[in-house]
Amino acid sequence: MNYSIAVIPGDGIGPEIVREACHVLDRVGEVYGHQFSYTEVDMGGCSIDKYGVPLTDEALETARKSDAVLLGAVGGKVGNSRWYDVAPNLRPEAGLLAIRKGLGLFANLRPAYLFDELASACPLKPEIIGDGFDLIIVRELTGGLYFGARHTEKVDGVETAVDTLTYSEKEIRRVAVKAFEIAMKRKKHVTSVDKANVLDSSRLWRKVVNEVAKDYPEVTVDHMLVDNTAMQLVMNPRQFDVILTENMFGDILSDEASMITGSIGMLSSASLNESRFGLYEPSHGSAPDIAGQDIANPIATILSAAMMLTYSFDLDREAQAVQVAVKQVLAEGYRTADIMSEGKTKVGTVKMGELICERIR
């Protein structure tokens, strides 16, 4: 089969890590007889430099026409006045929000599991880690505070800022359905996270999740308040299978979840719409301070490409081969700087990519 992929290298370490992920896809193509073709698309700071906006209509259209999108990262140092001394809707991150909204990518999947090989990098105590954890956060991605009306004005002479948090039944239902479908393929347990003791939007969230749950009698569902969830994630992460939550809570909890896996450099993500189309990106950012030095960890992006194989192309066997190759490289003791520990072999971005490619069979 031939698959067309829109590739968005973006800013900072984005181009380096995306390059390695494409090498991995090419290797998968070679071994399993597929063809991946790439169209490069600008987004973020590099697009601002060229076109004055973080995402052009043409770029969005190219992404839309592809079978899937692979993204590195966007954004730079906040001190970078060229990108940041402008209205918020013209900054690099606005490109990311615009592509999520523009492509209708309402479900953001962020898996967090502990590689045995990296257990020593996990900041939790061994008795908490036990034999490891494996959870996935399903974050609503195109609603809530991120996309509500906002403005700043003077009220009685006092500067006042307003952000609005809105969720419709429809928005909640479609992401809840994704979470239950995913749970059916895992341990059949959904923890829906909200702040129903305070927020109306959370009370509606809870009601709709309970309605959706009726269609999945095999799935156990429970509801947890977001503050308690933040605590439970570090106290007992093994209790979780699928965490379903709204946009802002998911943003915060997914950083916390990534940290307990030892390094944010290992975490992949997928953002999906109603169909099989998706955008795949590492959970980490553009890390401008280490860009261009061949020290960034490409594994999160490579694992994101593996998610693309599963969710957009239905190539489970191929995705598995990538995951196995990553595990093997780690088991053989190769580490990028972010996950380096004593007695291991330190390698750069390019070398890590090569090692993983060689182990795909």
Contact residues: ligand IPM, CB under 6 A: 93, 96, 251
Question: What's 306's DSSP letter?
Answer: H
Per-position DSSP letters for 49-100, written without gaps between them = HHHSSSS-HHHHHHHHHSSEEEEEE----TT-HHHHSS-GGGSHHHHHHHHH
Q: Which does 6 bind (CB under 5 to 8 A by kind): ligand IPM, Mg ion, none?
A: none
- Helix, strand, coil abundance in the chain, percent, nearest 5: 45, 20, 30
Q: Which does 93 bind (CB under 5 to 8 A by kind): Mg ion, ligand IPM, none?
A: ligand IPM
Location of structure tokens 């997928």: 270
Choose from ligand IPM, Mg ion, none: what does 325 bind? Cβ within 5-8 Å by kind: none
Q: Count Cβ atoms below 10 Å from residue 127 Cβ, excluding itself.
A: 6
Alpha-carbon gap, residue 26 to 23, rounded angstroms: 5
- Long-range (24+ apart) CB contacts under 8 A made by 202-209 are 202/246, 204/167, 204/169, 204/172, 205/167, 205/172, 205/246, 208/169, 208/172, 208/173, 208/176, 209/172, 209/176, 209/244
20 versus 93: smaller Cβ distance to ligand IPM:
93
Please identify, using beta-carbon distances, which residue of 246 and 251 lies nearer to Mg ion. Answer: 251
Closer by beta carbon to Mg ion, 287 or else 322: 287
Nearest distance in Å: CB 36, ligand IPM: 24
Please, what is the minimum distance in Å from the beta carbon of residue 249 to ligand IPM? 11
- Residues of this chain that interact with Mg ion (CB under 5 A) are 251
250 token code pair: 């998911």
Which C-beta is closer to ligand IPM: that of 18 or that of 28?
A: 18
**C-beta of 299: minimal distance to ligand IPM in Å?**
18
Residue among 93 and 241 whose Cβ is closer to Mg ion: 93
* Comparison of 17 and 357: residue with beta carbon closer to Mg ion: 17
> In the complex, which residue's CB is closest to Mg ion?
251
Q: Which does 338 bind (CB under 5 to 8 A by kind): Mg ion, ligand IPM, none?
A: none
CB atoms within 10 A of CB 25: 26
Least distance from ligand IPM to the Cβ atom of residue 300, Å: 12
**Calpha distance 96→80 (Å, rounded):** 18
Q: How far is the CB of 254 from Mg ion (least distance, A)?
A: 6
Q: How far apart are CA 130 and CA 100, in angstroms?
A: 36
Query: In a 3-state reduction of DSSP, which class is residue 270?
Result: strand
Find which of Mg ion, ligand IPM, none residue 109 binds, CB within 5 to 8 Å per kind.
Answer: none
Which of the listed partners (Mg ion, ligand IPM, none) does 96 bind, with a CB threshold of 5 to 8 Å by partner kind? ligand IPM
CB of 100 to Mg ion, least distance (A): 12
Which two tokens mark 66? 């592809």
Q: What residues are annotated to the active site?
A: 146, 195, 227, 251, 255
